[in-house]
Amino acid sequence: MSGFRWRDVARIGLVQAALGAVVVLMTSTLNRVMVVELGLPATVPGVLVALHFAVQFALRPRFGFASDARARTPWILGGLAACAGFGTLAAAATALMATSRLAGLVLAGFAFLGLGAGVSAAGTPLLAMLADGMAPERRARAAAAVWLTMIAGFIVTTMLAGKLLTPFSYDGMVRTVALLSCGAALIGAVAILGLERRATRQAQVPGIAVPFRVALARVWADPAARTFTTFVLVSMLAYSAQDLILEPFAGVVFGLSPADSTRISGLHQSGMLIGMLGAAAMAARIGGALRQWAAVGCAASALAFLALAISPTVGSVLWLKGSVLGLGLANGTFAVGAIGAMMALAVRGADETGMRMGVFGAAQAVAYAVGGLLGAMLADGARLALGDFGAGYALVFALEAGCFIAAARLAWRDAAAERSSAFSGGAAAEPILGMVG
């Protein structure tokens, strides 16, 4: 077993893209339908998505530990199947809300919980398999390649959904989600088969896994890790708060159809992919610490959110599209710096790399759950207080801009002292830039 080649990494990227394809349908298409077509408060899909992330926070360590003791492929296949099934069930539950609100909401809650379990069952063993099959010096490049593939999967999914949802009907929505979810799961299953035998599994240490609180205490004792974890929380709160309100915002304020608002999400993902590639190429050529590139991306994201905040006043769909594209470009720049920083800081832990990645992942999961729900609740609260949909959404966008400014300050702080720390990237992060630059 000589380990993975780059075509094997591409196959793992397809599996990650398949998982992301199902999730993005929940956070974009179904979310928009609940808020606009069904007239539900944005808090409702916010709670559902928060449930999905809460389950991941609880189950990811358990599924990862279980796959350490057994083969990883069955867990991944089971997780893909669960994602397809529960994703389709979530679409059916959304359609049911049109005729039976309470039954649809109960069924949707069950579906989103199942979806979170499926993502946990497939996603954690998948990343462990990637680590199994890659030499330490190649893991950063492999992780970046998988991330880029996932973003590309988001783009393809939202574009296909936009086409298939024209004209809109609830039956058509269920068929579209079922087709895309099952198709993505099938692609992921074909991609993963036979890969595990090429991975070089590390010897497992018998005994009981270290409790999360112990792992957290060890990582928290490192000032650089503590600063980076805070950065992840703040920046991902800012990033995720728009997930559940962008499409409803486009539908309610600008009158866009479900297909057109889904394309708005695709525009954001396209901009993010271009931003990642462009920022990585520029960083490789003109240099600079990765924490500085993360700060630049955060500052640019703040400007893009301010542009979104004033878009109801401007009243132009072209302005809206430009602001969303600019947000994607800025988010991509931020992601390049953050990914490289995370990789570099994780490997500083030597034998506790997995625990460090777990702490950062936990921070991200909490930020996503809280950010999405908080953004939806603030949009609803501001709308009720101000009596205007546009003003409610604008207030949330402005608050996100403020969070990104705070994250930029965290990323930029103590630049000279942190040149060799998580934010600087160092040798471990440079391959990411070389790969796409």
Amino acid in the structure at residue 398:
A
Q: What is the pLDDT of residue 65?
A: 67
In a domain, 207, yes or no: no
Distance CA 437, CA 434 (A): 5
Q: Kindly state whether residues 188 and 270 are assigned to the same domain.
A: no
pLDDT tens-digit map of 242-257: 877 888 888 888 988 8
Distance CA 236, CA 249 (A): 20
pTM tops 0.85, yes or no: no
Q: Kindly state whether residues 140 and 225 are assigned to the same domain.
A: no
Q: Kindly state whether residues 176 and 273 are assigned to the same domain.
A: no
Closest of 349, 361, 403 to residue 229, by C-alpha: 361
In a domain, 199, yes or no: no
Q: What is the pLDDT of residue 418?
A: 53
Amino acid in the structure at residue 161:
A
Main-chain phi, psi angles of 204, to 5 degrees: -90, 140
pLDDT tens-digit map of 132-168: 777 765 665 676 678 788 888 888 898 898 889 888 8
Mean pLDDT of 17-46: 89
Q: Which of 135, 168, 194 is the last residue of a domain?
A: 194
Number of domains in the chain: 2
Q: What is the pLDDT of residue 120?
A: 86
Q: Kindly state whether residues 244 and 295 are assigned to the same domain.
A: yes
| CATH number of residue 167's parent domain | 1.20.1250.20
Q: Kindly state whether residues 184 and 239 are assigned to the same domain.
A: no
Q: Kindly state whether residues 72 and 188 are assigned to the same domain.
A: yes
In a domain, 206, yes or no: no
In a domain, 202, yes or no: no
| pLDDT beyond 50 at 437 | no
Q: Kindly state whether residues 86 and 161 are assigned to the same domain.
A: yes
Q: 79-83, 109-113, 427-431: which has the minimum mean pLDDT? A: 427-431
* Contacts with 166 (C-beta within 8 Å, 6 or more apart), sequence order: 257, 259
DSSP 230-284: HHHHHHHHHHHTTTTTHHHHHHHHH---HHHHHHHHHHHHHHHHHHHHHHHHHHH
Q: Which residue has the tokens 């099952």?
A: 182
| pLDDT beyond 70 at 422 | no
In a domain, 203, yes or no: no
| pLDDT beyond 70 at 205 | no
Q: What is the pLDDT of residue 213?
A: 64
The range of the structural domain enclosing residue 313 comes to: 212-437
Distance CA 376, CA 44 (A): 8
Q: Encoding tokens for residue 226?
A: 């503590």
